[in-house]
């Protein structure tokens, strides 16, 4: 009995021990599998994201390189960002020396930074300049985004492979962590993306925001393992035991390289989590000693749950991968070695429907369904080349509904271990890019021809303009002379009147003198008659003197001109017109510096026109006030009248040629136009202030000698 009991106890103990070992081993393996699955999904997510970012930057960058002006580049970068604004923060188009030319959302006149002058941007920018594809910089914080960003840069090269620019952008760190959160990975997993170019932490998830500044973009987190010392999970994943450098806990980690951007992805979990999970599993079999049936029941329940979980994980993995594949606009297809279609995305299905009217189905041989059979042999050769293990890129031209389509295609052999099991096909539609390139070449040729034709036209126009300008100068001089003659005509009546009066003095004085001398000789009584004769002669001399100044010929601009004398001469010539209307003229000459260098005859014409205008603006009786004063190195002449005044529209047009408010035949409309020309010629200014019904104020400012 004791032996039977011992045997039973031993059997139960051994059975329980075996179950415990199995549970631990199975739990560990289950967690490793889930860790590997998580690593693969994240790697696929990053590779696809990097590829999409690269294509976006290349597409926008090549277009920016083609655009000529900074303003057009800035406008295109801002418009392009609207398409990619969910993934990308901005587009920055930089020269090979690091100077950013345009930045989306910024004015072309803004001062933009040079990426080679900052340590946090120099290393990643220099890496992009030397590379052929996408380069990922070190994560850093920027006030512009108000968040941590991951810089992404792509070199833009010409047809000769020479670097012409670097297109750069930033990925919002919060967007990346939000995507990881949406994947719903186990909360005990730690996702660590390391930039191997610089040995710095690119992404660490989960991580409290307070720790960002200590961890992100720093080289503080170093794992104590090497890739050649781990256990291979598959061709891409390696399992390690290590110490987590973030929390110093013993952990299990799976590492893989993202070769396209030289990054290392490490997904880890603490070993204590496996122990806790094992404990959570085995605590439910405490009743195993009660009987073997309980053990068998537990094993059945456990195995069934494990199988369902594995199936659920497979479904989840398939759904995630399907979501990633369907999110791209590139054509993606997976074929087995027999050329049968295994998987494809929506973009591939739509393209096949449009080009060949083909309804893609799993298991079909696409080459047999092609509408254009003449391309079947070429596609078959490419497929066979991939089956030999050759990974390659090729540009394919295929007929579409609206012309030929151009695809940048990639064939990748797929291996299961060492066995080749299929081929993946990726194709990016670059038809629009090629069409843009062709159109740009045609436009360049057309533009060159137009520039040549336009140059000839401009030369001919310049010759015509030169002749026209010479003719205009001649016409202007004729207008000035014509207006001057018109002014002299206006003054002629006054001159005649003014000369007649003094002549009458002389005439009557002479008659009286003759009569007086005939009667008797009284010298004292003759003095008044002599004074009258002298006054008449003096006034006649004044008028002749003023007229000689006004009509002075020549265009010399180096004469010394006394402004006060010029104004007095003008008033003398206009005296009869002013007295006929009983206009009171007041002068107040306060300027001590009254001499300017210019043309005296033209300045007489200026003040004659202004004072004559003032006289004409006074309908019956009124006042004209003339004052002068010095302001710094100038003399200011103010002429105010109490005439009818002008409205704003008349003030704006008064110096226009041929503009006049007088009745037809009463004015040429050139007086104030010529006045403005003469003042401009003397380097002065003319200001007018007036209100309708309140009179007008002319202010002339000239530089003193």
Is a pLDDT exceeding 50 seen at residue 9? Answer: yes
Torsion angle of alpha carbons 438, 440, 445, 447, nearest 10°?
Answer: 160
pLDDT of residue 7: 58
pTM, two decimal places? 0.40
Max mean pLDDT range (102-116, 272-286, 623-637, 654-668): 623-637
Single out the residue of 636, 639, 651 nearest to residue 691, CA to CA: 651
pLDDT of residue 303: 72
For 310-345, the pLDDT digits (tens) are 888 888 877 777 776 777 788 888 899 888 988 888
pLDDT of residue 280: 77
For 445-471, the pLDDT digits (tens) are 888 888 888 888 888 888 888 887 776
Torsion angle of alpha carbons 89, 94, 98, 99, nearest 10°?
Answer: -100
Higher pLDDT, 76 or 485: 76
pLDDT of residue 2: 44
Is there a cis peptide before residue 239, judged by omega within 30 degrees of 0? no
pLDDT of residue 5: 44
pLDDT of residue 319: 75
pLDDT of residue 683: 93
Q: Please tell me the least confidently modeled range out of 21-30, 483-492, 601-610.
A: 483-492
pLDDT of residue 640: 96
pLDDT of residue 585: 94
Distance of CA 486 to the CA centre of its chain: 58
Higher pLDDT, 671 or 596: 596
Q: What angle do CA 666, 670, 675 make, to 5 degrees?
A: 125
Instruction: Quickly tell me which residue has 């670059």 as its tokens.
Output: 430
Single out the residue of 244, 256, 314 nearest to residue 33, CA to CA: 314
Average pLDDT, the chain: 81
> pLDDT confidence of 209, banded at 50, 70, 90?
confident
What average pLDDT does this structure show over 127-137?
A: 83
pLDDT of residue 590: 93
Whole-angstrom distance, CA of residue 112 vs CA of residue 73: 14
pLDDT of residue 10: 67
pLDDT of residue 4: 47
pLDDT of residue 493: 44
SS3 letters for 237-281?
Answer: CEEEEEECCCCCCEEEEEEEEEHHHCEEEEEEEEHHHHHHHHHHH
The contacts found for 296-304 with CB under 8 angstroms, 24 or more apart, are: 298/19, 299/19, 302/23
Whole-angstrom distance, CA of residue 181 vs CA of residue 175: 10
Is a pLDDT exceeding 70 seen at residue 532? Answer: no
Whole-angstrom distance, CA of residue 80 vs CA of residue 70: 15
DSSP string computed for 277-334: HHHHHHGGGGGGGG-HHHHHHHHHHHHHHHHHHHHHHHHHHHHHHHHHHHT-SSEEEE
pLDDT of residue 586: 95
Whole-angstrom distance, CA of residue 255 vs CA of residue 234: 11
pLDDT of residue 479: 60
Torsion angle of alpha carbons 98, 99, 101, 106, nearest 10°?
Answer: 110
Instruction: Quickly tell me which residue has 């002339």 as its tokens.
Output: 700
For 54-94, the pLDDT digits (tens) are 888 888 888 888 888 888 888 888 888 888 777 778 888 88
For 610-636, the pLDDT digits (tens) are 999 999 999 888 999 999 999 999 999
For 267-279, the pLDDT digits (tens) are 988 888 877 877 7
C-beta of residue 25 within 8 angstroms of C-beta of residue 33: no
**Which string of b and e fits 89-123 if b means at least 16 CB within 10 Å?**
bbbbbbebebebbbbbebeeeeebeebbeeeebeb
> pLDDT confidence of 594, banded at 50, 70, 90?
very high
């Amino acid at each position: 009995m004791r032996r039977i009991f011992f045997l039973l106890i031993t059997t139960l103990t051994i059975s329980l021990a075996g179950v415990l070992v199995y549970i631990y081993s199975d739990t560990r393996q289950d967690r490793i599998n889930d860790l590997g699955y998580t690593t693969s999904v994240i790697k696929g997510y990053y590779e696809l994201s990097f590829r999409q970012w690269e294509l976006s930057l290349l597409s926008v960058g090549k277009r920016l390189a083609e655009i000529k002006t900074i303003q057009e580049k800035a406008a295109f970068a801002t418009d392009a960002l609207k398409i990619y604004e969910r993934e990308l923060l901005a587009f920055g188009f930089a020269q090979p020396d690091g100077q950013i030319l345009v930045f989306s959302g910024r004015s072309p006149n803004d001062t933009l930074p040079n990426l080679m002058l900052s340590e946090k941007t120099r290393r990643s920018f220099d890496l992009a300049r030397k590379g052929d594809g996408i380069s990922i910089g070190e994560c850093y914080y920027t006030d512009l985004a108000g968040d941590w960003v991951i810089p992404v840069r792509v070199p833009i090269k010409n047809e000769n492979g020479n670097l012409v620019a670097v297109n750069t952008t930033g990925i919002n760190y919060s967007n990346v962590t939000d995507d990881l959160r949406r994947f719903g990975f186990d909360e005990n997993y730690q996702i660590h993306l390391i930039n191997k170019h610089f040995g710095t932490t690119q992404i660490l998830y989960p991580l409290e925001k307070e720790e960002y500044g200590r961890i992100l973009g720093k080289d503080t987190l170093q794992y104590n393992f090497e890739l050649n010392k781990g256990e291979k999970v598959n061709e891409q994943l390696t399992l390690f035991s290590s110490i987590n450098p973030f929390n110093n806990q013993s952990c299990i980690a799976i590492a893989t390289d993202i070769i396209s951007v030289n990054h290392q992805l490490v997904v880890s979990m603490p070993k204590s989590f496996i122990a806790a999970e094992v404990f959570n599993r085995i605590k439910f079999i405490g009743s195993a000693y009660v009987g073997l049936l309980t053990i068998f029941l537990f094993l059945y329940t456990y195995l069934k749950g494990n199988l369902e979980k594995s199936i659920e994980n497979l479904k989840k993995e398939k759904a995630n991968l399907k979501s990633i594949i369907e999110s791209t606009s590139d054509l993606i297809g997976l074929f087995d070695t027999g050329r049968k279609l295994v998987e494809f995305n929506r973009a591939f299905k739509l393209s096949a429907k449009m080009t060949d009217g083909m309804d893609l189905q799993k298991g079909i041989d696409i080459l047999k369904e092609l509408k254009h059979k003449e391309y079947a042999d070429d596609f078959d050769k490419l497929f066979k080349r991939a089956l030999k293990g050759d990974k390659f890129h090729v540009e394919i031209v295929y007929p579409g509904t609206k012309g030929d389509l151009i695809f940048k295609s990639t064939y990748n052999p797929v291996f299961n271990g060492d066995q080749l099991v299929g081929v993946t096909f990726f194709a990016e539609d670059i038809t629009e890019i090629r069409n843009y390139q062709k159109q740009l070449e045609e436009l360049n040729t057309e533009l060159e021809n137009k520039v040549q034709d336009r140059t000839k036209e401009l030369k001919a126009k310049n010759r015509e303009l030169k002749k026209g300008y010479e003719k205009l100068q001649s016409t202007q001089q004729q207008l000035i002379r014509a207006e001057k003659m018109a002014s002299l005509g206006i003054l002629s009546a006054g001159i005649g009147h003014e000369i007649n009066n003094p002549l009458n003095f002389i005439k009557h004085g002479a008659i009286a003198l003759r009569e007086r001398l005939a009667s008797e000789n009284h010298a004292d009584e003759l003095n008044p008659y002599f004074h009258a004769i002298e006054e008449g002669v003096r006034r006649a001399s004044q008028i002749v003197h003023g007229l000689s100044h006004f009509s002075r010929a020549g265009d010399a601009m180096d004469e010394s001109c006394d402004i006060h004398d010029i104004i007095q001469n003008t008033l003398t010539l206009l005296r009869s017109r002013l007295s006929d209307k009983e206009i009171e003229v007041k002068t107040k000459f306060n300027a001590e510096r009254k001499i300017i260098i210019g043309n005296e005859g033209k300045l007489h014409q200026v003040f004659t026109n202004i004072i004559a205008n003032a006289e004409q603006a006074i309908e019956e009786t009124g006042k004209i006030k003339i004052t002068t004063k010095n302001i710094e190195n100038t003399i200011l002449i103010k002429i105010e009248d109490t005439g009818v005044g002008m409205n704003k529209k008349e003030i704006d047009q008064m110096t226009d040629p041929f503009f006049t408010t007088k009745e037809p035949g009463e004015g040429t409309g050139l007086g104030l136009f010529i006045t403005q020309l003469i003042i401009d010629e003397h380097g002065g200014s003319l200001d007018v202030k007036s209100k309708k019904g309140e009179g007008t104020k002319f202010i002339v400012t000239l530089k003193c000698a």
